[in-house]
Amino acid sequence: MVLFVYGTLMVPSVMCAVSGFRGPGRAAVLHDHVRRRVVGEVYPGIVSRAGESVSGLVYVGLSGPQMHRLDLFEGEAYRRVELPVTMDDGQTWRAHTYVMAAGHERHLSREAWSLDEFLRRHLDRFVGGYRGFSDLARNGEGGGDDGRR
């Protein structure tokens, strides 16, 4: 499967720890969506918004079990949808991505989310404490690395 990511999953060690997927990401843009930080958290969410765009990465070749792990990790606040993304060479691809689920949009702040800030200030705390990792373990989906390679 093809997956567009725009937040913490852009970090290869996080992507591997969550899904077990090890592969390069390719730059892409999702149009008509906006990325904001989730209130009180260090990760973002996206919602539809005309005229806005979200930069991220596309991973190609994820298996069904890897996508299942991602679904568990993202939890009920996100829903997986398939949307068109513009690749770095201008081609349009269809990719799965996680958008804020109905009723959860209110948890987005007005604050933009920054990958650089996340890497500098929050990565260790996120890997050590985000509930999505415990959700994977609780569902018998553990076994990825600890995200610290």
Domains of the chain and any CATH numbers: 2-138 (3.10.490.10)
> Which two structure tokens, joined as six digits, stand for 21?
């997927």
pLDDT digits (tens, 9 = 90+) for 28-80: 999 999 999 999 999 999 999 999 999 999 999 999 999 999 999 999 999 99
pTM greater than 0.75:
yes
